[in-house]
Structure 1
Amino acid sequence: MFRAQILSGAGRVLVSPARMPISATSRQLSTQNQGKPLGNAPLYLSLAGLAGLSYYVYGESKQKSPSQKDTPQLVGALSKDEFVDFSLKRIEPYNHNTAKFTFALPENSASLLPVAACILVNAKEAGPKDDKGNPIIRPYTPISPSDTRGEIQLLVKKYDTGKLTPFIFRMKPGDKLGFKGPIPKIPYEANKWDEVAMISGGSGITPMYQILNHALHLKDDKTKFTLIFANVSPADILLREDLDSFKKQHPDRFNVVYVVDKAEGNWTGPTGHVNADLIRKHVPPPSAGEKVKILICGPPGQVKAISGPKEGMKQGRLDGTLKELGYTQDQVFKF
């Protein structure tokens, strides 16, 4: 379901610097509006009266440095009921067919997407249309943390035969795209599972990245993650620098296994498709029961072979390699 992604009332949500973990932001917001004690204000009042108190308060405010001022509270920039237009801020080429597109959000706002959730993107009147003349709508998972102030970033892979990605790649800074959300997927809860296995392909990495970037920053989360990430060639591996960094920083909680169709250069990793042997080697067995969760996101062919296809917005029955290995419907989630 995730194509380029991506690499998910109309009311606004109140909840910082860019890339600060959500948990850290929550702690900050829980304290930022607490008032500062008046200290010796009663003594000033008794000695100098109301005028003295006014002078004291004024003096205190004058002594505050900019860094001591309260950070404005973040407001949700998205609407779940309608598309909101955001302007393209910058484009950063990533590889031969992928780029990062950063869109500007209103001041002191953020996407505030729950994990895991995606958004819907709509090019509206200026973009491509379907067979009925309606604007093309696609789901995307941002790669920027949900509390990133003033920005939202998509990692978009261009498909020459696609209907929306060629249009996005023709956009220039200042052009607008419609965003709508959040579209909830699977709620992530710290320590709900002992292990989470992720099987992904191509641009389907983005919902996995969203979860990893959130969960690995949670101080008290002990959940272990294994990602099996399949691509055509080493050059097609998206977000590899970030994933390798996660592994280096959290060796006890995260491992990534790269798989490619075409080995190039000094490639020593697995080649070919994700198969039963690879899953047996890196994924906890079905006997782990509720302690393990397997997440799937990739091209339709890969999803069909590993877990069986989705049925529209529904999960569909479990099939493919995972069923053959003995996993149950409850142990698997398809993005």
Structure 2
Amino acid sequence: MKQDECYENGLMSQYVKSWKKGDAIFWRGPFGGFPYTANQYGELLMLASGTGLAPMLPILQYITENEDDETFVTLVGCFRTFENIYMKSLLQEQSRFWNVRTFYVLSQECSLENLPWSFRENTHTGRINENLIRSMLNMCRKQPFVLICGSVAFSEDMEKCLKIIGLEKESYFIF
């Protein structure tokens, strides 16, 4: 992560800014009062922007490591560019599970042509918006529970979109 990609007032950004190449990073969580139980929702739609991916990963890994958990997961990671996608190999590994789909939204990429072929089909350029969220919801087998994590502006935008689409406050959680 480059210094100019950090949120000036973001707590996680300040931590990430201190990392040096080769540092080992360990994630814990999720935090923020979201307890997860196997098969609790049946389907999750995770909307994450930048370091907002962090609380999604322990939930995703819990689901894929628990063979009794049959929860379907659609993870939508929003980043500026392809190079900014955190933990690409882990995300690709997780998306090989039968119940996990991963999509990327790249706000500063103009084209998908330079991306590896394995990313092109599940990547969108531009910003995530109401129409894209609606299409993600329509891809779900049933009404998912939505998890949101990112900057304050991202979280507010996602909540507005969900309300416009008709989701009630009980249908989503903001970290």
TM-score range with shorter-chain normalisation?
Answer: 0.7 to 0.9
Counterpart amino acid of 2:52? G
State the alpha-carbon separation in 2 of the partners of residues 182 and 211 from structure 1.
Answer: 7
Does residue 1:185 correspond to 2:33, yes or no?
Answer: yes
Does residue 1:255 correspond to 2:160, yes or no?
Answer: no
State the alpha-carbon separation in 2 of the partners of residues 327 and 246 from structure 1.
Answer: 27
Does residue 1:272 correspond to 2:131, yes or no?
Answer: no
Counterpart amino acid of 1:304? E
Does residue 1:219 correspond to 2:67, yes or no?
Answer: yes
Does residue 1:237 correspond to 2:85, yes or no?
Answer: yes
Larger helix proportion of the pair: 2
Alignment match, 2:162: 322
Task: Rate the CA distance shift 1:202–1:280 in 2: closer, same or farther, 3 A.
Answer: same
Counterpart amino acid of 2:154? Q
State the alpha-carbon separation in 2 of the partners of residues 333 and 295 from structure 1.
Answer: 5
State the alpha-carbon separation in 2 of the partners of residues 197 and 296 from structure 1.
Answer: 9
Alignment match, 1:169: 18
SS in 1 for 2:148: strand
Alignment match, 2:144: 292
State the alpha-carbon separation in 1 of the partners of residues 161 and 95 from structure 2.
Answer: 27
Which runs of 5 or more structure 2 residues have no equivalent in the other structure?
21-28
SS in 2 for 1:270: strand
Contact 2:2 2:17 in 1 (8 A): no
| Consecutive aligned runs of 4 or more in structure 1 exceeding 6 Å deviation | none
Contact 2:30 2:58 in 1 (8 A): no
Alignment match, 2:25: none
Contact 1:188 1:211 in 2 (8 A): yes
Task: Rate the CA distance shift 1:224–1:182 in 2: closer, same or farther, 3 A.
Answer: closer
Task: Rate the CA distance shift 1:222–1:183 in 2: closer, same or farther, 3 A.
Answer: closer
Larger radius of gyration: 1
Post-superposition CA distance 1:257-312 (Å, at most 9, x none): 101012265244211111122112222599x5xx62100001111111110xxxxx
Percent identical: 26
RMSD: 3.0
SS in 1 for 2:60: helix
Shift of 1:210: 1.4
Task: Rate the CA distance shift 1:167–1:232 in 2: closer, same or farther, 3 A.
Answer: closer
Counterpart amino acid of 1:217? E
Alignment match, 2:154: 302
Post-superposition CA distance 1:206-261 (Å, at most 9, x none): 0001111112100111000001111110111111110100112x0x2000010101
State the alpha-carbon separation in 1 of the partners of residues 102 and 8 from structure 2.
Answer: 30
Task: Rate the CA distance shift 1:275–1:235 in 2: closer, same or farther, 3 A.
Answer: same
State the alpha-carbon separation in 2 of the partners of residues 334 and 218 from structure 1.
Answer: 24
Task: Rate the CA distance shift 1:273–1:246 in 2: closer, same or farther, 3 A.
Answer: same
Which runs of 5 or more structure 1 residues have no equivalent in the other structure?
1-95, 99-156, 172-180, 308-319
Query: How high is the TM-score relative to the length of structure 1?
Result: 0.42
Counterpart amino acid of 1:230? C
Task: Rate the CA distance shift 1:273–1:220 in 2: closer, same or farther, 3 A.
Answer: same
Query: How high is the TM-score relative to the length of structure 2?
Result: 0.77
Shift of 1:97: 2.8
Counterpart amino acid of 2:8? T
Larger strand proportion of the pair: 1
Alignment match, 1:57: none
Aligned length: 156
Shift of 1:182: 9.1
SS in 1 for 2:65: coil
State the alpha-carbon separation in 1 of the partners of residues 16 and 71 from structure 2.
Answer: 39
